[in-house]
Amino acid sequence: MAVIHELLSRVEDVELRSRLEDEINKISKQKKFGLVFEEHLPECTPLYDIPVKKGSVVAKKSGAVSDMFEVLAIHDAVALCANRVDKQTEEIPVSELVCVAQFGEPIYPYLKPIDSVCNAPDSNLWHTLIEADNYHALQLLEYLYAGRIDCIYIDPPYNTGARDWKYNNDYVDGNDTYRHSKWLSMMEKRLSIAKRLLNPKDSVLIVTIDEKEYLHLGCLLEEIFSGANIQMISSVISPRGATNKSAFTRVDEYIFYVFIGNASIVPFGPDMLMQTEYEPVEQNVWKQMIRGSENGPRTKRPKLFYPIFFNLQDGQFNSVGMPPPLQVRREDIPVPEGCFAVYPIRRDGLEVTWALQPETFLDKVNKGYIRFGKWKPGDTYRTMAHLQKGTMERIEKGEIEILGRDDEGTVILGSTAKPKRPVTIWNMPTHDAGVNGKNLLTTILPACSFIYPKSLYAVKDTLNFIVKEKKDALIVDFFAGSGTTLHAVNLLNAEDGGHRRCIMVTNNEVSADESKQLSNKGFKPGDDEWEKLGIARFVTWPRTVCSILGRDANGNRLKGEYMGIERPLAEGFSANATFFKLGFLDKTSISLGRQLAELFPVLWMKAGAIGPCPTPKMDDLKHYWLSEDNRMGILINTAYFSDFEQIVNASNKITTVFIITDYESEYQTMRNNLQTKETYQLYRDYLDNFRINQRR
């Protein structure tokens, strides 16, 4: 750098020299090691709920959302718009425009109820599907659950260049100087928020990927989750494989596990490769009877030096002698007739000691916990090994199976009841994405042509290693695709009576072919005909409803059984779920309290999504609102705090309270008088959270 600055000093043009110095300084601040990629900011979000008016930034519904205009004037439902790049103006009907939020602009999201399914009216557990661009949905989830998520499982776009669903592979364009930059930039923004969602003390991020981006993803994870324990699994998902004439047939994909804090796996059965469920008894459970010289010679522990007698005729154990005094030579100790004596003697002749007292040795012989070495006629020595205390306790608890006993009464040990620790290469027939992914999805949704859904059992196993012992886990999937994750969570809950909750996020993009067909018919994004064919409404939500009710999309009972638990698909699940679309509100209207009813689903989720999502009318929201079923309350008019306080403190079910006040001191006083677990100030808490989007 010194040479460069010396050369710069020779540039006579002051303005040119200054500009060159600025650019060099920028370059010098860039990363020199690790993952390097361009920081793209291409993402924009259509705001269908925000009315188009003068000054709005908009895009054509039928065009690219990144091709933006500024509305200069509106007359007779026609907007005069200026292109934000070339400043060219054109007149566009307002009905063909949609407001746009650019990346980095503050947004104020709400959740618009679309549908719900209730198959467990007595349960307060409700899963959630959010239709949205997942970046803005993640911002909402950060407001709701920062640091509270137990597990995030995502199956992001693999960046193959295919054009089926948008999230599957539409994140690279020809303008990138580095092919992977746009994909990495997209992932970096989302993973950074995901990190803030996860419980820093004990949580796991799981990301599936294939060979196109696994190297870059691994580096990105190392960079974002520095200090975490990261491991990659190779998982066979298609035994038939994807054939390439010039290369190997690919049968697998990869799974990254990012362990945060004290997180670890919980083995639950198969080793995932050989499909054996339990560890064989380790050979080293049998410990040698003779101690090494490092444990002291005979002189230091004389009570552990004694003869063990064996029959000369068959070599079998006969009896035990008592430890002789130190001054007595072993050669002078009498041996029973027809026997030979074995002492703890090292190969170099040093007298050492046995590992057990004589009485303990005899007790273990009687129980079969001493194993004798091979013997042939003429031998006058036998090796011996014993089971240690921990192994004996596991036998007595039934954790190690005794298959029988040998001719000398020694126990023959079978497998342990301890699940075999899974290996890093998975080859499970149930993980076949064709049979248990695509075929299963077609059974549920006969008209669905979703590309490459995950095997239900692959996702279930992947999650089970993390949440098996967390029966109240909160699990998030913000690349939800066909909805396999929520389906797998319901299956886990059905197996062990768990209360795990799943939040899924997916956009509602249509496939490239359907987009073309709809456009040719004159339909645009936002039209009902367009929206009903999007992935969220045509695949993810219908699958959720059908799997819970046990019926296919045509209302017929599902055929077949879930593998492993012999549960009929037609039985469905005792579960509930609700479907929202992410929308955006006007900041001024929020602060004036005009959109409290619209914010109810957001507040319901922040309070734990307990019970059915309430849908009160504005007329019901005058002074305060309380619901023990939802375990939440809202103080709307602080003049009624005394009544509100009395009801809340008398109830042991209200755990979350929202207080609407602009005054911090008033809020703190009221908060201190309430006996609730969580208290929040509206609308400051909400507005401040999303205002900081400008700094991201």
d(CA 685, CA 195): 21
d(CA 76, CA 96): 14
pLDDT tens digits, 651-675? 989 999 999 998 999 999 999 999 9
Question: Following CA atoms 260, 431, 482, 196 in sequence, which dihedral angle do they give, to the nearest 10 degrees?
Answer: 0
Question: What pLDDT is attached to residue 347?
Answer: 83
CATH architecture, domain 45-102: Roll (2.30)
| Closest among 83, 516, 434, 441 to 236, alpha carbons compared | 434
pLDDT tens digits, 484-501? 999 999 999 999 999 999
Question: What pLDDT is attached to residue 164?
Answer: 45
pLDDT (mean) for 87-113: 87
Residues of the chain with CATH 2.30.30.140: 45-102
d(CA 152, CA 190): 12
How sure is the predictor about 21, in pLDDT bands with cuts at 50, 70 and 90?
confident
User: Any residues with CB less than 8 A from the CB of 436 and at least 6 apart, and which?
Assistant: 430, 455, 456, 457, 458, 563
Q: What is the CATH number of domain 109-276+423-580?
A: 3.40.50.150
User: Any residues with CB less than 8 A from the CB of 243 and at least 6 apart, and which?
Assistant: 249
Phi, psi dihedral angles at 385 (to 5 degrees)? -140, 155
Return the CA Rg of the chain.
35
Identify the top-confidence range among 101-115, 522-536, 597-611: 597-611
Q: In what order do the strands lie in the sheet with 384-387?
A: 286-288, 384-387, 370-372
Phi, psi dihedral angles at 553 (to 5 degrees)? -65, -20
DSSP label at residue 238: -
- Checking if the pLDDT of 26 tops 80, the result is no
Question: What pLDDT is attached to residue 418?
Answer: 63
Q: 13 to each of 8, 16, 17, 21, 218, how far by Cα in Å? A: 10, 5, 6, 12, 46
Q: Regarding predicted confidence, which is higher, 17 or 105? A: 17
Question: What pLDDT is attached to residue 446?
Answer: 92
| Closest among 179, 167, 140 to 37, alpha carbons compared | 179
How sure is the predictor about 415, in pLDDT bands with cuts at 50, 70 and 90?
low
Question: What pLDDT is attached to residue 694?
Answer: 43
d(CA 270, CA 274): 8
DSSP label at residue 555: S
Question: Following CA atoms 561, 563, 567, 569 in sequence, which dihedral angle do they give, to the nearest 10 degrees?
Answer: -40
Give me the residues paired with residue 68 across strands: 59
First to last CA, the chain: 31
Length, in residues, of the chain: 696
- Checking if the pLDDT of 165 tops 60, the result is no
pLDDT tens digits, 547-568? 999 999 999 999 999 998 889 9
